[in-house]
Homo-oligomer: A and B are copies of this chain.
Amino acid sequence: LAESRARLSRRGEHAFLDSLCERLRGRAALTAPAAGVLVGPGDDAAVVGPGSAPLAITTDALVEGVHFRTGWLAPEELGARAIAVNLSDLAAMGASPRWTLVAAIVPPDLSTAELDRILDACAAASEDAGAAMIGGNLSRGDALSLTVTAVGALEGRALERRGARAGDRLVVTGTLGAAAAAVDVWLDGGEPPPALRERFARPVARLAAGRALARAGARAAIDVSDGLLADLGHLCRASGVGAVVERARLPRLAQVAIRDGAGSEFAAAGGEDYELLAALPADFDERAIADLADACEVELTIVGRCTEAAGGVHLLGEDGCDVAPRLGGFDHFATESRRRGRQRP
């Protein structure tokens, strides 16, 4: 009974989702070979095999007041961001976007001009990634939200969260922490510097990187939406490994240091950057990784390595000692959200 009265805010989104995915995976509809399901619930995207061509399918929402606030983003940026966060899930599977659908919940007083700008930006951002916006839905509601479904084609096997092994090198694309730092400045009533704002307003799905990592034989990957450590935790749980990440190695823009210590906090736990985190076999040396970065069309940084599962997931400070980040990973239902972590260390 206590359990049945639990609220999501207490139980936590990820625990709830883990339990839901567990139940879904046990259902006959998913386990039957006829279902054509190659990767079921719980990864960045599901993978289905209609006939010979496997497709990756994912859905993700941006909700006003939760993922953004009015005034933070221009209508074009909101539309493009809603598409990008979905394409990022396809990128993490190594898939190439083909089609998108956009289901909008819209307050009745939103101007049609603004809605046109949002939805045209969804179409344009889809097109820029090689996908066609083929449909959607429009409903009334009190808060604006955009729920996008993206479908991508896979050339070979999907890059799943599971598959990493002890000894693998962990690499991330691009830089971390800027989007979370921008949000932090907004929540403090300020206006983030352009370099930070840009990373929140115009995230770039690492599509070429996802494909290149899959082709090069990366063992596992995930997109960094909840924060590096949280998403690393998802990857480690799915793979049955532990991990060690060195804080000093986390790539970040200088501007992320909006106050003492904030730079490494945001990089380790900030989230919403939509970079990729991947596990590469240990025989990838720095030279091989530099070559791979060319194919990825973005910087790749070695940030740590996978260990045996019993080791757990650790962030090491500059002195080699364990440090726990003060910010938690993003959990929509957490009572103490990441965004309050700074005030409540």
Q: Which residue numbers of A lie inside 8 Å of B, CB to CB?
A: 3-9, 11, 13, 16-17, 20, 23-24, 27-30, 32, 35-37, 40-41, 45-46, 48, 50-53, 55, 57-61, 63, 65-67, 98-99, 101, 103, 105-106, 108-113, 115-116, 119-120, 123, 126-127, 130-143, 145, 147, 149, 151, 153, 332-333
A65 surroundings in chain B (CB, below 8 A): 141-142
Q: A48-B134, A103-B61 are in contact. Are A112 and B27 (CB under 8 A)?
A: no
- Selected contact of A147 from candidates B103, B110, B115, B143, CB within 8 Å: B103
Smallest Cβ distance from A42 to chain B, in angstroms?
Answer: 8
Q: Is the CB of A108 within 8 A of B8?
A: yes
Q: What are 7 of the A-B contact pairs (CB < 8 Å)?
A: A8-B106, A29-B123, A37-B132, A50-B51, A63-B105, A66-B141, A138-B332
In the complex, besides A27-B132, A51-B52, 8 extra interface pairs with C-beta distance below 8 angstroms are: A3-B113, A5-B111, A24-B133, A41-B136, A61-B139, A63-B141, A65-B142, A103-B149
Nearest B residue to A128 via CB reads B29
Give the number of copies in the complex.
2
Q: Is the CB of B29 within 8 A of A140?
A: no
- Selected contact of A134 from candidates B16, B57, B134, B140, CB within 8 Å: B57
Q: A3-B113, A37-B132, A105-B63 are in contact. Are A98 and B48 (CB under 8 A)?
A: yes
Report the Cα distance A76→B63, complex, angstroms: 25
A30 surroundings in chain B (CB, below 8 A): 132-134
Q: Is the CB of A151 within 8 A of B57?
A: yes
A24 surroundings in chain B (CB, below 8 A): 123, 133
Report the Cα distance A55→B333, complex, angstroms: 35
A9 surroundings in chain B (CB, below 8 A): 108-109
Report the Cα distance A57→B99, complex, angstroms: 10
A333 surroundings in chain B (CB, below 8 A): 106, 108, 140
Q: A99-B46, A135-B58 are in contact. Are A112 and B16 (CB under 8 A)?
A: yes
